[in-house]
Structure 1
Amino acid sequence: MMGTKMKRDNKNSTSIHRPWQRGLLASAVLAASVSVPQIASAEEDWLTKDWEVSGYIRQYLSWNLENPTLIGPDGEQRDDYRYDLSMARTVGKLDLYRDFGNWRTKITGRISRESPTDYGKDLQDVMDEWAATGGAAGSSVNLRDDVYDDEELREFWVQGDLTDSTNIKVGRQQVVWGETDFFQLLDVVHGYDFRWRSFLEPENEELRKPLNMVNLTQQFYDLDGSLQVLYIPGKLNDGEDRGNSYDVEGGRWANNPNKGITFASAPFGANVKYNYDHPDADMDDDSFGLRWSGLAGDWGYSVGWFRGPNPNPVVNPNPATNPGQPQLQTGPYEGVYEGGATEAGEFIYPFIDVFGVTANNYFAGPDLVFSTELAYIPNAPYNVGIESIAEGPGCGFFPGFCGIEEKKLFRSMFRIDKQLDLQDVLGTSRPSFFTVQLFNNWITDYEKEEQLVNLAGFGGETEEFSSIITAVLATNYANDQINPSLAIGSDLTYGGGFVIPAVELAYGDHIRVRLEADIFFHEKDQERPLQGFNDTNLFGYFSGNDQLLARLTYQF
């Protein structure tokens, strides 16, 4: 769930909010896309000489393959949106890179703009209706202006060699840890923005939130390893740039059935807002990371530790708006509520410690690569309470609003990558890539009576052990001009899964077309907003979100 973008001027922010800055970045992206040859040939221009210029112009279009739940305050479903256009998004990205020898620098800017669709207009209209029934004053959201349209400085760093064995990289950047591309185990340095595309974008760097940081790497050649040290100053990064952002604004990727309802302006005093200054979740606090990477025989491995915000926000409920019901568990945050007096609670990102190990190796006999990722979190926050006041002996407006418990969580991932010779079977032009990944969660101090929930606002109870398996097959035809793929996943504990068939078409050096269908399966879902809570879990949140996507990219 969770995530909001607060557009504000901040002297420490690297997002571009002022009108002249937006215009400058837009002009730069446009100029680069139409006049790269002129820039490259301007040898007499000292400012542009020797800069490497690249980027893309990209158009997204998506259509609903089923009818999303969109219910207004009158309790009626608004129209049938099956096959309606759900997204028309245009993105421009510009990369400037220059190598000065021992020092290098890179600047990346990205602009995103959405065109109105009939479905999007109805989402906005229903949201305005819900806010008018009793939502908090001043908390309404304009989906296009506040969520989807964006201009951002994605990278702005300088990197260089302090010594023959010491490298430093300072500025706005992305750091990728771990061995997996799907779910976050050790890749917790950054949050992700899942509001406009959920987890489906194939390039993680498009969803990952960059941060201003100091990134130091010390090589130890005699030990076949290196030590990476990260320092992320909290006050030099905006609060909304930390942790994962989910669609709680009621947009097209809001968890079913909450489309058209923003948590910040939910009616009847049930609204929930973000608090980036909570004493145990203060985004002004600094974050730190250490990671040793090395070789042990044929094995590549890493050992790491990171302290920073929990990737997913949890709800810190307001005791004043939960009268007359005994709280099941209040946890370590009892009495530390910082939000407004009339709100049901606040979204916070408690700081956690993540300890992890990764390993990988190639085995010549079966001709495959095995990799694993193990993470231990001694203070993982969970919301508690599987029932709401309206549904039973609950203690809050929604499931999970009984408080927060910190649990000892062990997470693991095991992966096999293999090249499959399917040329005689499928007629591919070269061997195909196949990968399968198994993800596991184990709460080592699990107690069923605590009633942990997987997501606040939904009644799905967390199990002591849970697993998800995913697999991807990527094939190639016509000398890599036609590249079909199939991704599947299954929730082995809570039920449901996904199937994503896709094809990527390459035309020369510049044009790429991706066609993709996103199809979800679930065992249970919630049919009515703000009522009828049941044990809905991960893939039930995506009910009604089956879609077809077309993505056209011109890269330069």
Structure 2
Amino acid sequence: MVRKDNTSIMKVGGFLLGFGGLLAASTPALAVDLNYGDGPNFDIKYSGYARATVGVLLEDHDETAADDKWRMNQARATLNLDFDIKTGPLNWKVITRFEHEHQTDYLDDLEDRINETSSTFGGSFYSNYGKGGRKGDFMEQYETTDEVMDMLREIYFDWAVTDRLFVRIGRQQLVWGESDFFQAMDVVHGYDYRGRLFYENNEEWRKPLFLFNFNLDLYEWGGSLNWFIRPGKWDRNEDMGSNYNAEGGRWIPHPYRGADFSQFSGIYDTDHKAGDWDKTTYGIRWNGTWGSMGYSLSYMKAFVTDIPVMNPNPGMSGNPGFTMQGVTVNSYAEDPKKGKLLGDWIFPEIDIFGLSMNYFSMKLDSTLSAEVAYIPNRPYNYGALQSDLPGWEGVVEKDIMKIMLRIDKEFKWMDVLGTHRPSLSSVQLFDTWIMNYDDDDEIVEFASFGSKKKEHTVYLTFFTLLNYTRDTINPSFVIGTDLSNGGGFAIPAVEFVWGDDWRLKVEADLWWNDGDKKKVCGTPDTSGASAASAGMAGCSQGFGAGWLGKRENSAALMDWFADDNQIVVKLTRQF
């Protein structure tokens, strides 16, 4: 039966109005004065916001039977409280967050599909989430504040040990680097990508860690030395790495929205010898000036945080009922420990050497920035491009260079566009260069997607912000494109401001691609193929009669999110 949802717009309006009414009614309670004392020994101040976020799909998706256009795919309520506390010589910061997400009809359909997929395999494998799950509810991946340490997002104190040495100790965020959209050096922490993609405020989605963060002022040398130590066993496993909708959900790439990969593979192997999260990580950075140019030199021992690596089970190609189309599968460093059929996801340990520069050009009236990160032996998945699971043949290590170039400039468009002050615009070019590239390696961007990674992967982004009526109406526009593989995204938005408290932002998240997502691979080697895959002419479908989607060997990052156009509305009450 096809489910029709003709009340989506009413549900969106009802959610926003109901949440806004709750905020308005609670304003007197939120305005309680929490400042105590006027001496240096004890003082508390607070700020924060409450927000309702609603996402509405603009296109239909193949993973559900319903017409998904105009259906809600997100309805989230967030309360963020930020406390500044002074106790003698220590200045404390405590940031708390409380979130709740409503299970929309769209998410309910994805959960049903996951359970249907589990039944297709005769009950041999069970979804980790959903009605037939073994761990919990499908929505647990979006309910990100169900434990005390999730609600207590950051807690640290600052201590001026001397007039030169400053230390910050506790659960915190540390940002190194100059990049905005595609990080080169901002990799101390992982990110939670389950609720959003990369066009949100990174501060809200970066995963804090327990750090000893030191800064030594060496002004006689024209700079400062910043270093950090992360004691390995002080963080929870869920604080490490980055989170993706591996269990199925609204931001796993198409066509896997209704597939739970954790049925067949461990979510993360936390103690793999190539990426043991209990190991101590650290970094050191010199920040200095050279004439009118600012620069930094840095080294970091960290973990891969952008895209995890699959450590395939070396015996899965011989497993009855599943064949990798004649591929011989090998393992990265050691056998999977989680007992899963296909293998385990890991975030390997890496070394990063970085250089950043920024300079204000009087001639261009612009700020010029650059960042270079050299990462030796960065692991990638490779091979099996003509199979159901491209990239799962194994792991190969490559030396890479990440390069970012950016120019920021204010344009005086007051007379042309009617803005009331100069408008900030930014252009950023980002390149990932595989230095010892070999086309025969068949490296993929992400295991399960068959587009062969190129020697250079180059993204170009542009951002501009306009301000009208004394910053009460603020349109913005972001656009990005993949110069190496095609496709891109655009985010037109406008924010309305009422007084010091209320904000309403409406944005459209739009994608375009060159159709590669819908192409299928060439004729595979069907020798020894499973019955489910061998009978699919032209390899248009794969293992499990299409449950793992169409086979393809040309879909790159921007193709993964084809058909994901949506409207996002955010109503915020600041206090």
Scaled by the length of structure 1, the TM-score of the pair is 0.87
Q: Secondary structure at the match of 1:145?
A: helix
What's the offset of the Cα at 1:284?
0.8
Instruction: From the superposition, tell whether residues 113 and 496 of structure 1 become closer, same or farther in structure 2 (CA, over 3 Å).
Output: same
Q: Say whether the 8 Å CA contact 1:174–1:190 is kept in structure 2.
A: yes
The farther-off stretch of 378-387 and 354-363 is 378-387
Q: Secondary structure at the match of 1:436?
A: strand
Q: Secondary structure at the match of 1:319?
A: coil
Counterpart of 2:562, as a letter, is S
Counterpart of 1:430, as a letter, is R
Paired position in structure 2 for 1:258: 256
Paired position in structure 2 for 1:56: 49
Scaled by the length of structure 2, the TM-score of the pair is 0.84
Do structure 1's residue 545 and structure 2's residue 564 form an aligned pair?
Answer: yes
Q: For the residues of structure 2 that align with 1:30 and 1:403, how far apart are their CA atoms?
A: 55
Q: Say whether the 8 Å CA contact 1:251–1:260 is kept in structure 2.
A: yes
Paired position in structure 2 for 1:308: 302
Q: Could you tell me which of 517, 528, 543 is aligned with 1:525? A: 517
Q: Could you tell me which of 400, 409, 423 is aligned with 1:418? A: 409
What's the offset of the Cα at 1:140?
2.9
Q: Say whether the 8 Å CA contact 2:371–2:403 is kept in structure 1.
A: yes
What's the offset of the Cα at 1:132?
2.5
Q: For the residues of structure 2 that align with 1:80 and 1:518, how far apart are their CA atoms?
A: 19
What's the offset of the Cα at 1:273?
3.0
What's the offset of the Cα at 1:166?
0.3
Paired position in structure 2 for 1:485: 476
Q: Secondary structure at the match of 2:110?
A: helix
Do structure 1's residue 377 and structure 2's residue 367 form an aligned pair?
Answer: no
Paired position in structure 2 for 1:107: 94
Q: For the residues of structure 2 that align with 1:537 and 1:40, how far apart are their CA atoms?
A: 51
Q: Could you tell me which of 277, 281, 285 is aligned with 1:291? A: 285
Q: For the residues of structure 2 that align with 1:330 and 1:144, how far apart are their CA atoms?
A: 34
Q: Say whether the 8 Å CA contact 1:329–1:405 is kept in structure 2.
A: no
Instruction: From the superposition, tell whether residues 308 and 34 of structure 1 become closer, same or farther in structure 2 (CA, over 3 Å).
Output: farther
For 1:167-316, list aligned pairs within 5 A: 167-201=166-200, 203-265=201-263, 270-311=264-305, 312-316=307-311
Q: For the residues of structure 1 that align with 2:370 and 2:328, how far apart are their CA atoms?
A: 37
Q: Secondary structure at the match of 2:199?
A: coil
Paired position in structure 1 for 2:485: 494
Q: For the residues of structure 2 that align with 1:321 and 1:35, how far apart are their CA atoms?
A: 59
Counterpart of 1:367, as a letter, is D
Paired position in structure 2 for 1:322: 317
What's the offset of the Cα at 1:290?
0.5
Q: Secondary structure at the match of 1:274?
A: coil
What's the offset of the Cα at 1:341?
4.2
Q: For the residues of structure 1 that align with 2:185 and 2:247, how far apart are their CA atoms?
A: 28
Paired position in structure 2 for 1:150: 145
Higher relative contact order at CA 8 Å, sep ≥6: structure 1 or structure 2?
A: 1
What's the offset of the Cα at 1:49?
6.4
Paired position in structure 1 for 2:355: 357
Q: For the residues of structure 1 that align with 2:328 and 2:366, how far apart are their CA atoms?
A: 49
What's the offset of the Cα at 1:33?
6.3
Q: Say whether the 8 Å CA contact 1:329–1:404 is kept in structure 2.
A: no
Counterpart of 1:286, as a letter, is T
Q: Secondary structure at the match of 1:51?
A: strand
Q: Could you tell me which of 103, 126, 132 is aligned with 1:116? A: 103
What's the offset of the Cα at 1:368?
0.3
Q: Secondary structure at the match of 1:121?
A: helix
Q: Say whether the 8 Å CA contact 2:312–2:336 is kept in structure 1.
A: no
Do structure 1's residue 85 and structure 2's residue 80 form an aligned pair?
Answer: no
Do structure 1's residue 455 and structure 2's residue 446 form an aligned pair?
Answer: yes
Q: Secondary structure at the match of 2:440?
A: helix
Counterpart of 2:153, as a letter, is R
Q: Could you tell me which of 385, 388, 395 is aligned with 1:387? A: 385
Deviations 1:294-352 (A, max 9, x none): 11110000011111111121100001102387767847x25x02234451111001100
Query: Percent identity over the alignment?
Result: 37
What's the offset of the Cα at 1:469?
0.2
What's the offset of the Cα at 1:452?
0.3
Deviations 1:126-176 (A, max 9, x none): 112112323634623533224334242211001111111001100000001
Q: For the residues of structure 2 that align with 1:271 and 1:200, how far apart are their CA atoms?
A: 29
Q: Say whether the 8 Å CA contact 1:33–1:56 is kept in structure 2.
A: no
The farther-off stretch of 371-380 and 110-119 is 110-119
Q: Structure 1: 5+ residue runs without aligned partners?
A: 1-28, 71-76, 392-396
Paired position in structure 1 for 2:536: none
Q: Structure 2: 5+ residue runs without aligned partners?
A: 1-22, 131-136, 520-545
